[in-house]
Structure 1
Amino acid sequence: MYALVTGANSGIGKEIARQLLAAGHTVHVGARDAARGRAAVDELGGDARLLVLDVTDEQSIAAAAAQVTELDVLVNNAGINNGGAPVSEIDLGAMRLAYETNVFGVVAVTNAFLPALRRSAGPRIVNISSGTASLGWSTGPNPQFDHRRGSYAAAYRSSKTALNALTVFYAQDLAGAGFKVNALAPGLRATNLVPAMAGMSPEARAAAGIGDPAEAAAEAVRLALLDKDGPTGGFFSYDGSIAPW
């Protein structure tokens, strides 16, 4: 069994790769930076393979796809969170960058690797989204996303909402070919996505409700290894519960 995890040199992506390796998969560790990717592969060991892949670069995507002829699992994990501005103050450059990585990059990578995935007896795609993308949670009485705080991180959050829509569309489009396509809200995790977390102590992270990336990775792996009767076109929280769109 073969898997590709984009943005897998750190954070949730690396933990997903680690757990897929433990489940017996050969894992292509997607990394934009070759040196960081090699360091991750060396750490992970086993059947981890470096795949240099910049999800915003069409030539990089094409070169990576040419190296992968067999694929059972694609985890679209690479993403950016480039600022916390509300929509009324958003810089259009920041908005474009968020969409280039979190939306257009997912489409470009997914479509490039579809030929390899179609050769699988049970192809699976997992899109790493965000709970902050949920319109239900954003408009309801959810303490994590209190609407009184305004539409903070509008570029990131709306790009992940768009990713959720793409998850539904891919699930519908590919259902006849046996694909299972789902999105995951991983919860707040100690990763490079929010640089301020890097200097926090474990105690401070725990107090702020910032969890271990491995916990979110476990649900991503569950979705990656669904059997033929598993769900498709869903949005799941890290605990396995269904998240509201």
Structure 2
Amino acid sequence: MRKTAVVTGASSGIGAATARRLAAEGFNVVLAARRRDRLDELAKKITDEVPGTTLGGRPGPAGPGGAVVPVTLDVTSQESVDALAAAVGGCHVLVNNAGGAVGLDAVAEADLDDWRTMYETNVLGLVRVTKALLPKLIESGAGHVVNITSLAGHVAYEGGAGYNAAKFGAYAVNEVMRLELVAEPVRITEVAPGLVKTEEFSLVRFKGDAEKAEKPYEGVPEPLVAEDVADCVAWAVTRPPHVNIDRIDVQPRVQAAPYKLHREG
């Protein structure tokens, strides 16, 4: 039976790249995010790229390329998460990618609404979706939860307190799940990227200010791209079922820590 993967935050960036990669690896892929128009575009792209892929319908064996199913999802809404769980048949892999950073303020100037947004998506959203799909993951007999966190969840940096706190929280949830589910047929993996240049992450962080959004990447010769992180996810989920990859830290060669980058010029 073909395995089904659910990818949250699939409308852009790491989520979209992961969905494309898992489809190419032969998974049925459920694309889950708020922006349905972006999901529909991505689904069409995947069906064009991966031979034999079919679009729509309940995921299941659907030709050599598998099925691609867009599902509108807001991870901050329990009703939306419940609808996702109802729409998904079996589930073997869950990639919790929805989240992100908002703001770069010092603690003394913290915007608590920004902090609340980050906690709601990066931590509570991760828990909502995992809780909803965990019975299906266990039932599959070889489930796998991959949580996309960040090096910011392991190393603090100035201006990052809100994002640090949220990603430290996601890391803690990941660690506890690994302990609590050790007797179940479910693997738990954390992928913690460093500097990744995508079309939206930094733009969202700086609330649409394109000039500020480019600053983190200035002088960095080769930041990671979304496909680099997707490659890590694909490698982890295609290991034999008895092999658990606990954590993958991935960053550009020129990055040694969230606050330590070599910049040219």
TM range, smaller chain: 0.7 to 0.9
Q: Structure 1 residues 48 and 183, CA, compared in 2 at 3 Å: closer, same or farther?
A: same
Q: Structure 1 residues 222 and 205, CA, compared in 2 at 3 Å: closer, same or farther?
A: farther
**Offset of residue 207 of structure 1:** 2.8
Which residue is 1:141 aligned to? none
Which residue is 1:194 aligned to? 202
- 1:179 matched to 2:205: no
Of 22, 31, 47, which aligns to 1:29? 31
Which residue is 1:132 aligned to? 152
Give % identity. Answer: 32
Instruction: Map 1:213-232; keep pairs closer than 5 Å.
Output: 213-231=226-244
Deviates more, 1:204-213 or 1:217-226: 204-213
Q: Structure 1 residues 197 and 75, CA, compared in 2 at 3 Å: closer, same or farther?
A: farther
| Structure that is richer in helix per residue | 1
Runs of 4+ in structure 1 over 6 Å off: none
Matched residues in 2 for 1:163 and 1:218: separation? 21
Give yes or no for contact 1:164–1:235 (8 Å, CA) kept in 2.
no
Matched residues in 1 for 2:20 and 2:212: separation? 21
Q: What is the alpha-carbon root mean square deviation over aligned residues?
A: 2.2
**Offset of residue 105 of structure 1:** 0.4
**Offset of residue 218 of structure 1:** 0.4
- 1:104 matched to 2:114: no
Higher RCO (CA-CA < 8 Å; seq separation 6+): 1
Matched residues in 2 for 1:116 and 1:163: separation? 21
**Offset of residue 87 of structure 1:** 2.0
Which residue is 2:8 aligned to? 6
Which residue is 2:97 aligned to? 77
Instruction: Map 1:134-149; keep pairs closer than 5 Å.
Output: 134-135=154-155, 138=156, 145=157
Which residue is 1:142 aligned to? none
SS in 2 for 1:177: coil
TM-score (normalizing by structure 1): 0.84
Deviates more, 1:155-164 or 1:40-49: 40-49
Matched residues in 2 for 1:197 and 1:2: separation? 40
Q: Which structure has the bigger radius of gyration? A: 2
- 1:41 matched to 2:53: no
Instruction: Map 1:56-95; keep pairs closer than 5 Å.
Output: 56-95=76-115
TM-score (normalizing by structure 2): 0.78
Question: Deviations for 1:174-224, whole angstroms, at most 9, x for unmatched residues?
Answer: 121121111111221122111148986xxx767354222101110012222
| AA aligned opposite 1:163 | A
Matched residues in 2 for 1:95 and 1:154: separation? 9
Structure 2 residue runs without a partner (length 5+): 48-52, 54-66, 204-209, 258-265
